[in-house]
Structure 1
């Protein structure tokens, strides 16, 4: 594998990052295929699918940015593991008061930004206050219940809430919790200045992003000198790049292509758990999908077990909460495969000879739409598939809500709140769900919160606000000599600091 060598002398081009405003846990150990000693001067090349449109993680939503920038380039007071457990990061310690209103963080010592400026308590207070005050910053809505953010002393930050928020710490593990230098003049659209184990060296839009080890990092240094994140939106092309030695790791391997990447080809395959929700969105605000009978009929027409088998990985879901998130409940009883009942419902709704359009980002391939076309045809529904560029999907579907049906993989964990937001592109408006979600947020007891979320999720599923085709499983091909590459949740976050490459 020629890329598994010492840091190249030539400058590698870097790619633009695609903002996955769409819609990416488990407990597996990192993949280990190393047989030799780790080479601290090694370069690691990782194949990814989705590239962000810019690098401004504070003002651009999406898992494609979080996947590569959080924990690698930027850090917050806390972060989360592959298993979605919350742990300290820039904070050496933290505690939450018994009433759930006061969060106290003690800062780690010796932290500096990539430009050499020491991290101060003012940087933390200013960064988080900007999230609270600026509606344009990602996470502003989640900070609505923040009463104050103050510095108790030079190393202690205290955040006070107006009411308990069960998800507040989790919010701090995302873009809203990242810490930036006060008054930084960096152009965050194309550059970065964080505190993480890697610096952003170069970005060649449409191709790759180059990260270089931060030798002044305040904690354990990264295990490789350089990481090249190579964006390959075509799944077959990604496999070919791995096979020809261009990649050390390929993420998001299509199940039907995975057999090509085996031990004989120099790769080990890992299958990781995720919170990725293969979501068939219904536009609840437009006819005929504003009729719950039509939505239910479409769900009953889908053979979910057969669809998962066709995809080749993952598991059925049936509701808005995946198994790894709080509030999960098996909701398979809500929408069992029953095409005969589906046809009865369509007749009751006066929706015979129904014609619908499915808008789907082009990089998802044809398996899901082919299954849906076939299943819907069995109940007399004609489905036209409109495959579009992701930027078009973002504009037409996500922003303008101009669609009937859509498919996208919602990868963000704990995002059931989307169904409590009537302005979200689903167009789903149920005050009872909104109230239950609000109660779950302010519950101090996590078990009570999870029960409320489960109750809300059942209502959402019984309203047939969408169909959850499957929970995704991520297949990653890890090359010989690579150790420590994450297994789970890699669609939403890839912590690269612990990855090593052995010398050949």
Structure 2
């Protein structure tokens, strides 16, 4: 059996930096270290975010806006992940994986309660996971397709048996699929919650703020602040203005072009965090003329990726579907180098010298990327119309109905290569060889061998020009010096706030 246990952290060794670790909350994420004074346990932390969720039902609603604030703060799973995408226990004190990769045995931590006061038992885990396994309306249903059974031998043990090995299964438990809900609970998850995390929901003022309170009876280390207020500011300039007028302690997703204002103020520390955010130019592979690989390749060759990143102000080049923090990453820059002359040749071969296309983009992404694409494409004879829409419209038209030609969105979820092995995903990309390699990678018990298979599949996807990956995002965060412990990396997919403190002023 492969055994992994939660390691106790040595609090005293870290006291000088005020990073709080515990046996209950796992190892600390990479954080912003500032020079604040003594933490104020009664403090309020105010965080500026861009994208507000449409509802709070993380069981039925996809999207980073929910995961960003709810996972680890309100809801917890048996396991979670660090900002480096490493898996560690959460509600489970430890777990074992059988040598054949089919059986996962979890032991629950003691003293865990839901926010309504009910004690967590293995029956709640079984109920939660059986629902995911059997209800195709729940997030994670596809990830549980290979689950044969979920059983509770006793109140503190959960045993999950798979029909075949799945290299990604444990990682899938770190996301919405693995969250644990109270059995038989009738909480209206659209607007309320009943999790086990270090915070509870105090209030949601739609279109403005979501407020969390510290959960006094949390089973682990208490949260470092009494209250968290998420301020939703979709306009980047307005976000900077709010920070500068003292309304915010932290501003996430800072527009790189606006960083000088924050730096010059002397009121904030700015950090660049690593992400798995794939700035994806999606092609509708089933819609003419994008069903022609020559057209897709031409569009990729016509984009000056280095210049685009310079215009955006932050990011790293990415020429394939797997970012550097995920298994299977390979530098694929040679697949689609900047070559507008060759792009024109390919369009001529495809009979598409005077091509008109429409780019559908959520409005909160701004105009920088569309402007660069319009300019680059014009140089190869392609006229690009830009349709900037509200995010709910994008979800309905592009993501759900697949009614688009080109689209741009940041895909922030880690290990999501499976989207290109899913012909029903909004990319409309259907390659049986890629699907076979991905299936082999999941079934491979050896993680290194699995990563090799993923790399092979990712190269095929890039060589098939199923999309263009404009860059891997870097997240810029502005933090007031009185704030300590705010996560730095991967915060577009989750912000674990339990260890954050605010000094008394």
- Taking structure 1 as the reference length, what is the TM-score of the superposition? 0.94
**In the alignment, which residue of structure 2 is the partner of 1:410?**
411
For structure 2, the 5+ residue unaligned runs are: 1-27
| Offset, 1:263 | 6.5
| Offset, 1:480 | 1.9
**In the alignment, which residue of structure 2 is the partner of 1:336?**
337
**In the alignment, which residue of structure 2 is the partner of 1:5?**
none
How many angstroms apart in 1 are the aligned matches of 2:94 and 2:396?
Answer: 42
Contact persistence 1:73–1:196 (CA under 8 A)? yes
Summarize the alignment of residues 25-40 of structure 1 with structure 2, pairs less than 5 Å apart.
29-40=30-41
| Offset, 1:295 | 0.3
How many angstroms apart in 1 are the aligned matches of 2:188 and 2:29?
Answer: 37
**In the alignment, which residue of structure 2 is the partner of 1:104?**
105
1:149-184 per-position Cα deviation (integer Å, ceiling 9, x unaligned) = 001222110000000000000000001111111111
Summarize the alignment of residues 267-286 of structure 1 with structure 2, pairs less than 5 Å apart.
267-286=268-287
How many angstroms apart in 2 are the aligned matches of 1:67 and 1:414?
Answer: 16
How many angstroms apart in 1 are the aligned matches of 2:261 and 2:214?
Answer: 32
Which secondary structure does the structure 1 equivalent of 2:335 belong to? Answer: coil
CA RMSD of the aligned region, Å? 0.9
Which secondary structure does the structure 1 equivalent of 2:36 belong to? Answer: coil
**In the alignment, which residue of structure 2 is the partner of 1:144?**
145
Which secondary structure does the structure 2 equivalent of 1:333 belong to? Answer: helix
Contact persistence 2:30–2:83 (CA under 8 A)? no
**In the alignment, which residue of structure 2 is the partner of 1:302?**
303
How many angstroms apart in 2 are the aligned matches of 1:466 and 1:36?
Answer: 48
Summarize the alignment of residues 84-483 of structure 1 with structure 2, pairs less than 5 Å apart.
84-262=85-263, 264-483=265-484
| Offset, 1:486 | 0.1
Which secondary structure does the structure 2 equivalent of 1:228 belong to? Answer: strand
1:365-422 per-position Cα deviation (integer Å, ceiling 9, x unaligned) = 1110111011101011111111111111111111111111110111000011100011
How many angstroms apart in 2 are the aligned matches of 1:455 and 1:223?
Answer: 44
| Offset, 1:34 | 3.4
How many angstroms apart in 1 are the aligned matches of 2:41 and 2:121?
Answer: 30
How many angstroms apart in 1 are the aligned matches of 2:37 and 2:249?
Answer: 15
How many angstroms apart in 2 are the aligned matches of 1:59 and 1:29?
Answer: 30
How many angstroms apart in 1 are the aligned matches of 2:157 and 2:284?
Answer: 46
**In the alignment, which residue of structure 1 is the partner of 2:490?**
489
For structure 1, the 5+ residue unaligned runs are: 1-26
How many angstroms apart in 1 are the aligned matches of 2:266 and 2:138?
Answer: 45
| Offset, 1:28 | 7.6
How many angstroms apart in 1 are the aligned matches of 2:400 and 2:103?
Answer: 36
Which secondary structure does the structure 2 equivalent of 1:262 belong to? Answer: helix
Which secondary structure does the structure 1 equivalent of 2:153 belong to? Answer: strand
How many angstroms apart in 2 are the aligned matches of 1:285 and 1:206?
Answer: 36
How many angstroms apart in 1 are the aligned matches of 2:41 and 2:29?
Answer: 25
How many angstroms apart in 1 are the aligned matches of 2:140 and 2:30?
Answer: 30
Contact persistence 1:34–1:501 (CA under 8 A)? no
**In the alignment, which residue of structure 2 is the partner of 1:61?**
62
Contact persistence 2:244–2:265 (CA under 8 A)? no
CA 1:47–1:39 in 2, change beyond 3 Å: closer, same or farther? Answer: same
How many angstroms apart in 2 are the aligned matches of 1:495 and 1:124?
Answer: 22
Give the number of equivalent residue pairs: 478
| Offset, 1:29 | 3.0
How many angstroms apart in 1 are the aligned matches of 2:369 and 2:409?
Answer: 10
Contact persistence 2:421–2:434 (CA under 8 A)? yes
How many angstroms apart in 2 are the aligned matches of 1:416 and 1:173?
Answer: 16
Runs of 4+ more than 6 Å apart: none
How many angstroms apart in 1 are the aligned matches of 2:116 and 2:202?
Answer: 12
Which secondary structure does the structure 1 equivalent of 2:333 belong to? Answer: coil
- Taking structure 2 as the reference length, what is the TM-score of the superposition? 0.94
CA 1:263–1:34 in 2, change beyond 3 Å: closer, same or farther? Answer: farther
How many angstroms apart in 1 are the aligned matches of 2:33 and 2:501?
Answer: 9
Contact persistence 1:315–1:471 (CA under 8 A)? yes
**In the alignment, which residue of structure 2 is the partner of 1:6?**
none
How many angstroms apart in 2 are the aligned matches of 1:83 and 1:320?
Answer: 18
How many angstroms apart in 2 are the aligned matches of 1:442 and 1:369?
Answer: 40
| Offset, 1:352 | 1.1
How many angstroms apart in 2 are the aligned matches of 1:293 and 1:28?
Answer: 44
1:432-462 per-position Cα deviation (integer Å, ceiling 9, x unaligned) = 0000001111110001110010000000000
